[in-house]
């Protein structure tokens, strides 16, 4: 089923079922390996997070540089499973959506169910196409990480596919 | 004796980096389109359409096909009658920096593999073969790490059956599963030493997908057929397009061993070549 969402509140999450095609218009945050390592460290030390995780959607992505006159460069998803070891503590802090490619560990799938979150897929290896759905982009934190910095992205009709829903149903199982 | 300047090499590498990352290889595009026609799964067809569309956007708008512009592996075939004026390694790395900067590509290389410090564009990985003649052939293969991470090597006993080798290759594709951006091109290297088998597997990705290895086409075809029955499909969501091709390269080996290496490429198999 095709659905349109703008944020992930309880109602939106409950309405999403594994296999649903979703178009997201709203805010997402990029974070990949090194940013995850830092976020997990911040949480462990009980320091202040660079953005509110409650209700947030993270996109596993390290964009290319931004060509002159453009909003963003090529920006497709990276392999999600590398983020598995850091995902539990983020879900605990209120993270509601994750966007990436490939499957997740059983532990992450169980945590998605426990915390009522959603894992989405988007077109993998299609960075140029994904750039066309982005309306604004700014570096929000960890600029020193270069391509692994956290970007705040405003997206429009960003195409997603529900891969693990809040009931723990998994498209790969 | 032919003289080629380091400057000319830098300029050539620069252009090859841009071409490889912005213009998807015609043989790869043709294989994707053919797969789209043959694909029976609706969702898989949809994804293949997006992949083809992505290639056109990249070409038209000069955006990298994939944000992971990889480690731009460089293959050099240096004719022994060529004299290079200047430093070949420096010239190549300089060309990469120029090309990657110009294309606004990602700084995907960390100088320190353990501490992960300092990301940038270089140094890259360079393979040099000395050959006869007075030509210099340069190839750039930007290899993303989603798929590079799925590389496998197995040192078989020399008495291993061909069925065991086939199983190892198929299992490597299964292990890559949905993670490495299927549909894949499966590069295989058989023989030589551990290191050479890996290199052959990677080099095989440079061969046109529609051109089989004349000595091994039955094996390549059989493996492709088996892999496309795994139902992994584009993005791992099912379908009969798990691989676009299986390319195998072989080399003589030792009486005591049989190295087999698998180097998988994602669907965005990118490379560009120029001979000077």
The pLDDT assigned to B47 comes to: 97
Q: Could you tell me the residue ranges of all domains in chain B?
A: 2-24+65-143, 146-269
Residue linked to tokens 């320190």: B112
Nearest alpha carbon to residue A32 among A135, A109, A101: A101
**Pairing mode of beta strands A150-164, A134-141:** antiparallel
Classify residue A170: in a domain, yes or no: no
Residue A173 belongs to some domain of the structure = no
CA distance A136 to A156: 10
Please tell me which of the candidates B54, B58, B178 has its beta carbon nearest to residue A102: B178
pLDDT at B205: 98
Residues of A in contact with B68 (CB under 8 A): 62, 76, 78, 127
CA B145 to chain CA mean position, Å: 11
pLDDT at res. A117: 97
Question: Are B66 and A101 inside 8 Å of each other by CB?
Answer: no
Chain B: residue whose CA lies nearest to A121: B235
B237 interface with A at CB cutoff 8 Å: yes
> Is position A110 within any domain?
yes
**Tens-level pLDDT at each residue, chain A (173 residues):** 788 999 899 999 999 999 999 999 999 999 999 999 999 999 999 999 999 999 999 999 999 999 999 999 999 999 999 999 999 999 999 999 999 999 999 999 999 999 999 999 999 999 999 999 999 999 999 999 999 999 999 999 999 999 999 999 999 99
Q: A with B: how many residue pairs have Cβ under 8 Å apart?
A: 124
Q: Evaluate whether B222 touches B171 at the Cβ level (below 8 Å).
A: no
Q: Is B54 in contact with A129 (Cβ distance < 8 A)?
A: yes
Which pLDDT score is estimated for B35? 98
Phi, psi angle pair for B111, to nearest 5°: -70, -30
Terminal Cα-to-Cα distance of chain B (whole angstroms): 13
Q: How far is CA B227 from the centre of its chain?
A: 18
Q: Shortest Cα distance from A149 to chain B (angstroms)?
A: 12
Most B CBs within 10 Å, among A74, A170, A173, to test the B interface: A74
Instruction: Check residue B118 and give its pLDDT.
Output: 80
DSSP state of A6: S
Buried b (16+ CB within 10 A) or exposed e, A49-78: bbeebebbbbbbbbbbbebeeeebbbbbbb
Give the residue numbers of A annotated as catalytic, written as ranges.
36
Domain of residue A100 covers 2-164
The CATH code of the domain that includes A70 is: 3.20.130.10
- Residues of A in CB contact (< 8 Å) with B are 34, 61-68, 70, 73-76, 78-79, 81, 101-103, 121, 123-129, 131-132, 145-148, 161, 171-172
Residue-level pLDDT at B116: 87
Q: What is the per-residue pLDDT for B120?
A: 92
Number of compact structural domains in chain A: 1
pLDDT number for residue B102: 97
Q: Is residue A171 domain-resident? A: no
Residues of chain B with pLDDT under 50: none
- pLDDT computed for residue B276 by the predictor: 97
Domain assignment present for A109? yes
What local confidence, expressed as pLDDT, does residue B185 receive? 98
């Amino acid at each position: 089923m095709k659905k349109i969402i703008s944020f992930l509140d309880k109602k939106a999450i409950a309405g999403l079922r594994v296999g649903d095609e979703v178009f997201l218009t709203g805010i997402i945050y990029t974070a990949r390996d090194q940013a995850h390592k830092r976020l997990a460290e911040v949480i462990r030390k009980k320091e202040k997070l660079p953005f509110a995780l409650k209700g947030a959607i993270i996109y596993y992505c390290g964009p290319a540089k931004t060509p002159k006159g453009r909003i963003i460069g090529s920006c497709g998803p990276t392999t999600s499973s590398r983020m598995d070891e850091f995902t539990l503590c983020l879900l605990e802090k209120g993270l509601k959506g994750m966007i990436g490619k490939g499957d997740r560990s059983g532990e992450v799938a169980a945590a998605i169910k426990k915390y009522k979150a959603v894992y989405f897929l988007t077109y993998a290896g299609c960075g140029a196409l994904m750039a066309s759905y982005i309306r604004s982009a700014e570096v929000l934190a960890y600029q020193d990480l270069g391509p692994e910095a956290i970007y705040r992205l405003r997206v429009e009709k960003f195409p997603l596919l529900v891969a693990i829903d809040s009931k723990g149903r998994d498209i790969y199982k | 004796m032919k003289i080629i300047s380091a400057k000319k090499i830098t300029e050539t590498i620069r252009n090859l980096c841009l071409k490889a990352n912005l213009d998807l290889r015609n043989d790869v595009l043709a294989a994707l389109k053919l797969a789209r026609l043959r694909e029976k799964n609706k969702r898989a067809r949809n994804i293949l359409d997006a992949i083809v569309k992505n290639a056109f956007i990249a070409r038209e708008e000069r955006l990298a096909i994939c944000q992971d512009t990889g480690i731009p592996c460089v293959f050099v075939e240096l004719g022994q009658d060529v004299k290079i004026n200047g430093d070949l390694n420096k010239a190549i790395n300089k060309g990469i920096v120029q090309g990657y900067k110009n294309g606004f590509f990602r700084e995907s290389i960390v100088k320190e593999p353990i501490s992960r410090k300092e990301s940038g564009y270089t140094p890259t990985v360079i393979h040099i073969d000395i050959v006869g003649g007075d030509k210099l052939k340069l190839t750039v293969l930007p290899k993303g790490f989603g798929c590079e991470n799925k590389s496998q090597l197995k040192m078989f006993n020399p008495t291993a059956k061909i069925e065991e080798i086939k199983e190892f290759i198929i299992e490597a594709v299964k292990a890559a599963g949905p993670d490495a951006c299927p549909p894949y091109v499966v590069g295989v290297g058989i023989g030589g030493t551990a290191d050479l088998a890996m290199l052959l597997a990677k080099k095989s990705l440079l061969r046109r997908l529609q051109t089989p290895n004349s000595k091994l086409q039955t094996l390549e075809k059989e493996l492709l057929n088996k892999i496309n029955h795994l139902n992994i499909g584009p993005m791992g969501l099912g379908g009969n397009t798990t691989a676009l091709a299986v390319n195998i390269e072989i080399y003589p080996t030792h009486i005591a061993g049989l190295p087999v290496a698998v180097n998988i490429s994602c669907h965005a198999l990118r490379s560009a070549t120029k001979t000077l």
